[in-house]
Structure 1
Amino acid sequence: MDLDDILPEIGEYGRYQKSILWLVLLPGVFPCGFHAYNQLFMAATPEHWCKVPELKQIQSEESRNLSVPLELVNGVLKYSECKMYDRNYTDISLTIQDFDYDNDTVQIDCKNGWIFDKSLYKQTVVMEWNLVCSKDFYPTLALVLFGIGGLIGNYIFGYIQDGFGRKPAFFSYLLIQCIFGIATAFAPNFWIWLTFRFGVGLTVPAILGTPYVLAIELVGPKYRTLVTILINISYSLALVSLALVVWLVTEWRLLALVTTAPFFVLFSFWCLLPESPRWLLAQSKFSAADSVISKIAKINGKPLPTNYINLLKIKIAEEQRKKPRSKKSYGISDLFRTPNLRWKTIIITFIWFTNTSVYVGLSYYAPALGGDAFLNFFLAAAVELPTYLFLWPAMENWGRRWCLCASMVIGGSACLSTFLVQHNSMVTLGLYCVGKMGISSSYVVLPLMASELYPTVVRGLGISVSTVIGMIGPVIIPLVNYLGSDMLTLPLIIMGTMLVLGGLSSLLLPETLNQHLPQTLEDAEKTGLDCGLCFNVNQ
C-alpha cells in the first residue's frame, strides 16, 4: 500500500485538493511569471540619439537633421544612435536659416549624452544611466547574471525542498524574492540594481517548482494532468497580466514595486498550505503525514481506510530492510547510481535544457519582432492559452511521451521555417506564434512527466538538477541574441534545431500515464527506457 492506493478512498481530487490548488498554488505561480520577465521592460532600450545642448531651443526633428547622421540598419535608413556631426552648434543655432545641410562633416561619438524617445517608456534603467552605445551590453549582462542566479538558486533550493519540505521551501523563495524585488526599486546605480536583480534571479524559476510538485503530490494519478494544465494556465495568465502591467506602468522603479508588493499577501496562506504527504511518508514522518491525510479525508467527506498508517509503516519498513540504511541522505550521485535512473536523468535533463532555452529565448525574442513591444509580449503569452484546450485530452489519450515529442518537433520546425521567410514580417510572426505554442505545450508536459519518472526520495532534487542544467540556456540565449543582432532569425534557427533534437530524444522515455509514482530508487529502476532499437540499459 502507498498513497496512490489510499487517495481513491479519501478523494483523489476532492474539495480539499481543489481549495489548496485554487486558493494557494495557482496564485503562487504569479511571482515567478512577473519576476522572470519584468526586467525586459525595466531595462528596455528605446530609440535614442545624441544630445546637443546648443540646439535645445530648436524643434526635435530639425535638431536631429542638423546634428545626427543617417545610417543603414537592416536595410532601413535610421538616425544614428551613437554618432553626431562634429560642428560648431553655437554658430549654427544663430544662423539656422542659412545653414547648408549638404555640407559633409566629420562624425564623432556622442559627447553630451543622449535624448531618448519617451513615447513608450517614461523611464528605464537604460535611460536613467545611459546604458547605450559603449554600454549597450549592460542590459544583456543583467539578463546573463539573472540567469546565473537562477542556475545557482535551483541547485541550492533543490536540497531545501527535499531536505526540509515543500512548504518551507516555497515561503523561503517568496521571502527572498520579495526582499530583493522591493530593493530593486531603490537601487542608486546600475551595479546595485544588478546585484538586487541577481538576488531575485536566485528564486526564478525555483519558486515555480514547489507549486508544480506539491500539486502533483496531493492528487491521484488520473488528476495529475489536470493540475499540471491548471498550473501552466495560471503561469500563462501571469505573463498576460504582466503585459498589461508593463503597458500601464512605464517607469521602472514603480514597475519594480508593482510587480513585487502584491505578493506579500501570499504569506497569509502559511496556515492553509499543507506539507506534501508523500514527502512526509518518504521521510518516515508518519504522525505529520497522518495529520495531513486525515484532514484530506475529513474535508473531502470520505472515511479513512482501516489501519492504513500501520500498513504504510510496514511497507516502508520492509523497503528499508531490503536495503538497510540508517538515516539516508540523498544526493546528486543517487540520480546516476543505477542504469535506468541514470539514463532517465540524462534524457530529462537534455530535454529540460532545450525547453528552458527555447521558452525563455522566444519570450526574450518577442520585443525584437518589431512593432509594439507590449503587444508582441502580450501575443507571446496569449498564444500559450489555446494549447491547453487540446493538450489536456491529448495527454490523457495519447500519453505524455507522444505529446512531448509532437509539441517540440512541430514548434522546432516552425522556428526553422522562419529562415525561409525572414523578409516577410507577418509570416515570421505567425511562425513565431506556432513555435511559441509548441514550446508552451512541451513545457507543460515535461515537468509532469519528469515528476512521474523521478522517485519521491529524489523528486525535488532530480527536477532541480534538470532545471539547473536547463538554466544554462537562459544564460546563453541573451548572448546569442546580442551577437546575432544582424540576423534576427539566427536565434530562431538555433532554438528550432534544439527543439527538434529534444523532441526526438523524448521517445526514449517510458510512458507514465496512469502509472503509480515511484517512491524509492528501487521503484524507479523497475521501468527501463522504452526503446527496443537502442540499447539495453539493464546490462
Structure 2
Amino acid sequence: MGFPELLDQVGGLGKFQFLQAVALVVPIMCVTTQNMLENFSAAVPSHRCWVPLLDNSTTQASVPGTLDPKALLAVSIPVGPNQQPHPCRRFRQPQWQLLDPNATATNWSEAATEPCVDGWVYDHSTFTATVVTKWDLVCDSQALKPMAQSIFLAGILVGAAVCGHTSDRFGRRVVLSWSYLQIAVSGTAAAFTPTFPLYCLFRFLSAFAVAGVMMSTTSLLMEWTSAQARLLMMTLNSLGFSFGQILMAVMGYGLRHWALLQLAVSAPFFLCFVYSWWLPESARWLLSMGKLGLGLQELQKVASINRKTAGDTLTREALLSAMQEESGGAQASASLGALLHAPSLRLRTWISMLCWFAFGFTFYGLALDLQAMGSNIFLLQGLIGVVDIPTKMGTNLLLGRLGRRPSQAGSLVLPGLCILANTVVPHDMGSLRSALAVLGLGSLGAAFTCLTVYSSELFPTVLRAVKKVTHSTPAPCILMSTGL
C-alpha cells in the first residue's frame, strides 16, 4: 500500500484539511502584505528644498507681508522639468526679479542654484511619514530606495535556497514555525530601527523567512491532500495572496505612518507562531525520511479529526510499505543536482524555471512600483486583488477541463498581451494604462495558480522543496530594481 492509499484511509479531504487550509492560508495573506509593504511604507511624496523664506519663522518676519507663499516659492525654488518646483535644487539667493511679470526664462535659468543643503520639505497629505521621508531617500540618495527593495528580494532568494534544503531535512512544520517567528521579530524590529542600514537588515531577515513560509505552506497543503483535491487546495492557497493584496490596500489606507504599518503587518505572525505548533508534520515527509513512529502518530491524529476508523489499515506493515515506496534512497538524492541528473527531471526543471522567471519578472516589475502606474495607489493595490480572485477561481475550472499545459500557456500569454498593448498607449491616457496594468497583474494570478499546481505535481515528494529553490522568482527583479 502506497501513501496515497494511506491518505485516503485517514481522509484526503475532510475536516482536517479544511482547518489546515484556514490555519495556513491566513498567514499567506499576511505574507503578501510583507511583499507589497514598500509600495506604501517607502512611497515617495512630493518634496522640495527647505528654504528660509518659507520654512524659517525668523526669516519670514522680514519678508513684506504682501507676498504670498506662492510668490516666495517662485523666488526660492527653480521650476523643475514637470513645471513644478524643482525637488532637488534651490536658488542660492532669492530671485526677486522673477516677480516681475515681464521676467523671461533667461532671468532664472542663469541664476546660480545649489542642492538642498538644509534638507527637504515633504508633502504629508497622503502619508504622515515614510521610509523616504525619515531618511531623506531622495535626490542624490534616491537610489537607496530601490536598493532596499532589492535587499528584500535578495532575502527571498537566499531564504528559498536555505529553507528548501532545511525543509527537506528537518521537516516542513519546523521551518514554518521558525519562519513565522523570524518574520514577527525582524518585522517588529524594523518598525523601531533608528538607521537605514539596520532597516535593510531586518527587511532582509523578514524576506528570508517569507520564503520559508511560502515553501513550507505549499508542501504541507500538497502532502496532506489527496490527489483529486490538490487543485482545489492550491487554488485556495493562491487566493490567500489575492486577499492579501486587498488587505494591504486597506491597511495602507488606514495606517499612513510607515512604522505603524510595518508593525501592523508583522505582529500577527507572533500568533501564527504560537498556533503552528499544533499543526501536524507532513506524514509523507516523515515516511520518506524513515520516521515510521512519528508518521503513524500524525496519520492517527488526522484520522481522528476526520472521524475515520482507520485502525485496521494503519499498521506497521502498511506504513513500512509506504515508507519504502516514498524513500527508496531518495534521501540521498534530495539535492539540486538530482533535478539536473535525470533527463526527464532536467527538462521539467528548466521549463519550470523559465515559466517562473516570466511570472516573477513581470509581476514584481509591475506590482512593486505602483506609484508609476497611477496616482491612487490604494485603489490600484485593491484592484489587483479584486481582479485576481475571479481569475484564479476561473483557473481552477480551466485546469480541470483543459489540463495543465494549455492553461499554463494561456495564463502567460494574456499578461504579455496586456503589457505589449500598454507600450503603445500614450502616457497621457493614465486610466487606460492603469487598467491594462491591473488586468495584466490579475492575469498573472492565473499564471501563479497554474505554476503552483503544475510544478508541484511534476516533482517527487523528497525534491518538492528543493526544486522551489530553482523557481525563486525575485532574482530577475533584483536586477531590474537596481537598474541592471
TM-score by length of 2: 0.91
2:333 maps to 1:358: no
Among 379, 382, 386, the alignment partner of 2:383 is 379
Among 183, 188, 213, the alignment partner of 1:177 is 183
2:437 maps to 1:432: yes
Q: Which amino acid aligns with 1:465?
A: T
Preserved contact between residue 283 and residue 295 of structure 2 (Cα < 8 Å): yes
CA shift digits 1:45-68 (9 cap, x unpaired): 100011102333475433322212
Q: Which amino acid aligns with 1:275?
A: E
2:77 matched to which residue of 1? 68
2:479 maps to 1:473: no
The CA deviation at 1:476 is 1.9
Q: Which amino acid aligns with 1:68?
A: I
Give the unaligned 5+ runs of structure 2.
61-66
The CA deviation at 1:292 is 1.4
2:448 maps to 1:443: yes
Within 5 A, what are the aligned runs for 1:381-460? 381-423=385-427, 424-460=429-465
2:467 matched to which residue of 1? 462
Change (3 A) 1:200 1:439: same
Among 321, 341, 354, the alignment partner of 2:345 is 341
Q: Which amino acid aligns with 1:53?
A: P
1:129 matched to which residue of 2? 135
Find the aligned partners of 2:37 and 2:120 in 1 and give their Cα distance.
Answer: 24
1:532 matched to which residue of 2? none
Find the aligned partners of 2:379 and 2:322 in 1 and give their Cα distance.
Answer: 55
The CA deviation at 1:341 is 0.7
Change (3 A) 1:41 1:357: same
Preserved contact between residue 367 and residue 377 of structure 1 (Cα < 8 Å): no
Find the aligned partners of 1:233 and 1:223 in 2 and give their Cα distance.
Answer: 16
Q: Which amino acid aligns with 2:438?
A: C
Find the aligned partners of 1:221 and 1:177 in 2 and give their Cα distance.
Answer: 31
Preserved contact between residue 13 and residue 220 of structure 1 (Cα < 8 Å): yes
Preserved contact between residue 2 and residue 325 of structure 2 (Cα < 8 Å): no
Q: Which amino acid aligns with 1:390?
A: G
User: What number of residue pairs does the alignment pair up?
Assistant: 468
CA RMSD, 1 decimal: 2.3
Preserved contact between residue 20 and residue 272 of structure 1 (Cα < 8 Å): no
Preserved contact between residue 33 and residue 238 of structure 1 (Cα < 8 Å): yes
Within 5 A, what are the aligned runs for 1:178-217? 178-217=184-223
Q: Which amino acid aligns with 1:391?
A: T
1:311 matched to which residue of 2? 318
Within 5 A, what are the aligned runs for 1:124-273? 124-273=130-279
The CA deviation at 1:416 is 1.0
1:2 matched to which residue of 2? 2
The CA deviation at 1:142 is 0.6
Find the aligned partners of 1:413 and 1:324 in 2 and give their Cα distance.
Answer: 45
- With 131-140 and 40-49 compared, the bigger mean Cα shift is at 40-49
- With 361-370 and 3-12 compared, the bigger mean Cα shift is at 3-12
Secondary structure class of the residue paired with 1:84: strand
Q: Which amino acid aligns with 1:350?
A: L
Change (3 A) 1:475 1:98: closer
Preserved contact between residue 66 and residue 101 of structure 1 (Cα < 8 Å): no
Preserved contact between residue 12 and residue 219 of structure 1 (Cα < 8 Å): yes
2:85 matched to which residue of 1? 79
Preserved contact between residue 164 and residue 465 of structure 2 (Cα < 8 Å): yes
The CA deviation at 1:262 is 2.0
CA shift digits 1:248-290 (9 cap, x unpaired): 1111112211111122111221342110111011111111111
The CA deviation at 1:176 is 1.4
Find the aligned partners of 1:319 and 1:12 in 2 and give their Cα distance.
Answer: 17
Find the aligned partners of 1:137 and 1:8 in 2 and give their Cα distance.
Answer: 54
Secondary structure class of the residue paired with 1:108: strand
Secondary structure class of the residue paired with 1:49: strand
Find the aligned partners of 1:59 and 1:249 in 2 and give their Cα distance.
Answer: 33
Secondary structure class of the residue paired with 1:384: helix
2:114 matched to which residue of 1? 108
Find the aligned partners of 2:277 and 2:441 in 1 and give their Cα distance.
Answer: 37
Change (3 A) 1:3 1:324: closer
Secondary structure class of the residue paired with 2:114: strand
Find the aligned partners of 1:43 and 1:417 in 2 and give their Cα distance.
Answer: 29
The CA deviation at 1:114 is 1.0
Find the aligned partners of 1:234 and 1:449 in 2 and give their Cα distance.
Answer: 18
The CA deviation at 1:9 is 3.2
The CA deviation at 1:318 is 7.1
Find the aligned partners of 1:63 and 1:318 in 2 and give their Cα distance.
Answer: 80
Q: Which amino acid aligns with 2:374?
A: G
Change (3 A) 1:135 1:420: same
- With 131-140 and 143-152 compared, the bigger mean Cα shift is at 143-152
CA shift digits 1:7-50 (9 cap, x unpaired): 3333221111111212x111221331121121232221100011
CA shift digits 1:62-88 (9 cap, x unpaired): 332221222334xxx222111222324
Find the aligned partners of 2:456 and 2:179 in 1 and give their Cα distance.
Answer: 20
Identity %: 27
Find the aligned partners of 1:122 and 1:416 in 2 and give their Cα distance.
Answer: 36
Change (3 A) 1:176 1:315: closer
The CA deviation at 1:99 is 9.9
Secondary structure class of the residue paired with 1:70: coil
Preserved contact between residue 45 and residue 122 of structure 2 (Cα < 8 Å): yes
1:14 matched to which residue of 2? 14
Looking at both structures, which has the greater relative contact order when contacts are Cα pairs under 8 Å and sequence separation is at least 6? Answer: 2
Change (3 A) 1:35 1:119: same
The CA deviation at 1:127 is 0.9
2:64 matched to which residue of 1? none
Secondary structure class of the residue paired with 1:259: helix
CA shift digits 1:296-328 (9 cap, x unpaired): 2222222215365413413544787xx779x73
Change (3 A) 1:59 1:209: farther
Change (3 A) 1:166 1:318: closer
Preserved contact between residue 284 and residue 326 of structure 2 (Cα < 8 Å): no
Give the unaligned 5+ runs of structure 1.
484-539
Secondary structure class of the residue paired with 2:80: strand
1:33 matched to which residue of 2? 32
Secondary structure class of the residue paired with 1:115: strand
Secondary structure class of the residue paired with 1:119: coil
Preserved contact between residue 175 and residue 212 of structure 2 (Cα < 8 Å): no
1:508 matched to which residue of 2? none
Preserved contact between residue 53 and residue 72 of structure 2 (Cα < 8 Å): no
TM-score by length of 1: 0.82
Preserved contact between residue 124 and residue 252 of structure 1 (Cα < 8 Å): yes
